[in-house]
Amino acid sequence: MSPRRPTLLALACVAAVASVAVNALSVPFSRVSGASSRSSKDTSSNLFDFQNSNNASSADIYVATLSVAGQDFVIQLDTGSSDLWLDTAGIDLSSLTQTGYETGLSYSDGTVAEGPLYVGNVTFGNFTVNQAFISAPGTNATTNQDRGLLGVGPPLLSTVQSALANTIYNGDTLMNNVLDSDPSLPKFTTFSLSRSFATGKTDGGTFTIGEVNSSFSAITSNPQLDVVSKDRWIVLMDNIIVNGRNVSGGSSFSVSGQSSGQTLACLDTGTTLAQIPRTYADAIYGPVPGSILQESAGIYAVPCDAKINVTFVFAGMEFPVHPIDTVTATTDDNGNIVCYSGFPFSDGSDSSEDFLLGDSFLRNVYSLYDYGSFFNESASPFIQLLATTNADQAYPEFDSLSAQRNQSLLSSRSSSGSSPGGTGSGSSSASPSRTSKLGAMSILLAFGLLII
Ligand SMILES: *[C@@H]1O[C@H](CO)[C@@H](O)[C@H](O)[C@H]1NC(C)=O
Ligand SMILES: *[C@@H]1O[C@H](CO)[C@@H](O)[C@H](O)[C@H]1NC(C)=O
Ligand SMILES: *[C@@H]1O[C@H](CO)[C@@H](O)[C@H](O)[C@H]1NC(C)=O
Ligand SMILES: *[C@@H]1O[C@H](CO)[C@@H](O)[C@H](O)[C@H]1NC(C)=O
Ligand SMILES: *[C@@H]1O[C@H](CO)[C@@H](O)[C@H](O)[C@H]1NC(C)=O
Ligand SMILES: *[C@@H]1O[C@H](CO)[C@@H](O)[C@H](O)[C@H]1NC(C)=O
Ligand SMILES: *[C@@H]1O[C@H](CO)[C@@H](O)[C@H](O)[C@H]1NC(C)=O
Ligand SMILES: *[C@@H]1O[C@H](CO)[C@@H](O)[C@H](O)[C@H]1NC(C)=O
Ligand SMILES: *[C@@H]1O[C@H](CO)[C@@H](O)[C@H](O)[C@H]1NC(C)=O
């Protein structure tokens, strides 16, 4: 079962779709936070810089827009799932085809996106495709103004595709339909999750289909990491380096090509932070003076000034994490700033990988997901990564970024008059490790004719 859960956003920040190249699609997407959704008109708009709240309903997510039945929907982009679902409450769907089938996804926080499957034109960027999606009016899997989720994971993970298999309807994933609509498009997507150090604000990123952002063209020379799962973006990781010390091994898996010491890492933009094995979290946070293990929550409380070097190593190549991402900050009930592990732990809750690496890692790389044989090609699927964090530059800027982060937490609190991290607790009941939404292997709900 997936530990991920939903998060929310502010409509005001959503970027328009824009195009870049003729045979490609580049969609800028926005980062929005629960705090700014409540106070997005504030002049002190610099709220929740770098913030990944430990309250699911106010965590940061990355969103884009697509349109269905003449309506724009703000949706979360998720590499960790493969379905499109929309909260269609109040939307006239009469121009679409109702298939008579239903399906849904449920998440480990108890939220559910379920309902009838419709097929109709869905426009995403310059593409309009005839697309099946889950109509989930009033779903509690969205929070504030986000209206759905677009999974761009491997097609085999799609519950819609399963539900419509052997019917007259095309249940293919949106990525599949988009790539089919233009066979000349290279079959990959890329993500860059940006963070503006100038303003201290994480303000979005770019999602591309079939195109590499020219700023990051070096990625194509980097090692192609074989995807070792049929339905998830999982690759082999060599080790991590914590303050110069190697940590490796302990994998719960043994897959073809996995050498001694290697672990399985799933890259998931739909996860706000991460879920890593307990032993690795102990290695990162245990030695930090003043750190306090909160075992049931799967986190360490750490001093906000903890400046920890963590580097992830794939195919012998090092991908440093900015120290600001290693420690996440929020406010407690009394408005005090408190800090937690940016890489929470969880053992045994995930049956598909050792490491679930969400945005606290992904902000530090440009990532490319090549579908290969997932989409009718002979080549194997692979992932490429390009480091975008320079460890030697990142380390000295930690203090000023941390001060900025503090400042924005305090100012958002005073401007909103409530605990803007939304977390309320900030105590051991807090569970920042479970901040994100992702459909994936979450429990599939079967209805009617659906057979998984
Ligand atoms: C893509 O859409 C944009 C507007 O969103 C438009 O300006 C551009 O010409 C389109 N490109 C192609 C190749 O259709
Ligand atoms: C969400 O809604 C479903 C019914 O659609 C319900 O079973 C579930 O308890 C709700 N979960 C939460 C967290 O409200
Ligand atoms: C769906 O899109 C296609 C291609 O853009 C168009 O030809 C068709 O008329 C659209 N159908 C509806 C119902 O809008
Ligand atoms: C490429 O990435 C840079 C840096 O994130 C960004 O500013 C730019 O808009 C991106 N360009 C395209 C074409 O996506
Ligand atoms: C962390 O990395 C920085 C930059 O590379 C380095 O200067 C510093 O010594 C490292 N700290 C530790 C404890 O390894
Ligand atoms: C640490 O891991 C690196 C790969 O990241 C490897 O090259 C190096 O030999 C390892 N060092 C030790 C002491 O195990
Ligand atoms: C795979 O490609 C072949 C040949 O182009 C085509 O006939 C078939 O429909 C494709 N299958 C899928 C699942 O796209
Ligand atoms: C940020 O706030 C925390 C908690 O009050 C404090 O311990 C830390 O020193 C502050 N950091 C900076 C750089 O001001
Ligand atoms: C999250 O924060 C909101 C607003 O402060 C609060 O209403 C809600 O109960 C919190 N949820 C959790 C799970 O702590």
Half-sphere exposure (CA, 13 Å, Cβ side) for 94? 2
Q: Which two tokens stand for residue 334?
A: 């009394």
Nearby residues of 74 by Cβ (< 8 Å), 6 or more positions away: 9, 11, 14, 63, 64, 65, 145, 146, 147, 148
Q: How far is the CA of 201 from the centre of ligand 9 (A)?
A: 23
Q: Are 30 and 203 in contact (CB under 8 A)?
A: yes
Q: How far is the CA of 376 from the centre of ligand 3 (A)?
A: 25
Q: How far is CA 203 from CA 149, 351, 363, in A?
A: 19, 33, 11
Q: Please report the domains of the chain, with CATH numbers, ordered by start residue.
A: 11-188+441-446 (2.40.70.10), 213-434 (2.40.70.10)
Interatomic CA distance for residues 62 and 32, integer angstroms: 7
> Of all atoms in ligand 2, which is nearest to the CA of residue 140?
1
Interatomic CA distance for residues 413 and 405, integer angstroms: 12
Q: Are 221 and 252 in contact (CB under 8 A)?
A: no
Q: Which two tokens stand for residue 114?
A: 């379920």
Beta strand segments in 210-261, E: 225-226, 234-237, 239-242, 245-247
Ligand nearest to the CA of 216: 4
Task: Choose among 363, 429, 447, 358: nearest CA to 3.
Answer: 358
Q: Are 113 and 104 in contact (CB under 8 A)?
A: yes
Q: What is the pLDDT along the chain (452 residues), one digit of tens a residue?
A: 333 332 222 221 222 222 222 334 555 555 443 322 222 222 111 111 112 222 233 344 566 788 998 899 988 888 888 999 999 999 999 999 999 999 998 876 678 899 999 999 999 887 899 999 999 999 988 865 678 989 999 999 999 999 999 999 999 999 999 999 888 889 999 988 876 443 333 456 778 888 888 889 999 999 999 999 999 999 999 999 999 999 999 999 999 999 999 999 999 887 878 999 999 999 999 999 999 999 999 999 999 999 999 999 999 999 999 999 999 888 888 889 999 999 999 886 667 999 999 888 999 999 999 999 998 778 999 999 999 999 999 999 999 989 988 887 887 666 554 332 322 222 222 222 222 333 222 222 222 112 22
Q: Say yes or no: CB of residue 389 within 6 Å of ligand 5.
A: no
Pinpoint the alpha helices (H) of 81-195: 159-164, 174-181
Gyration radius of the chain over CA positions: 21
Q: Say yes or no: CB of residue 391 within 6 Å of ligand 5.
A: yes
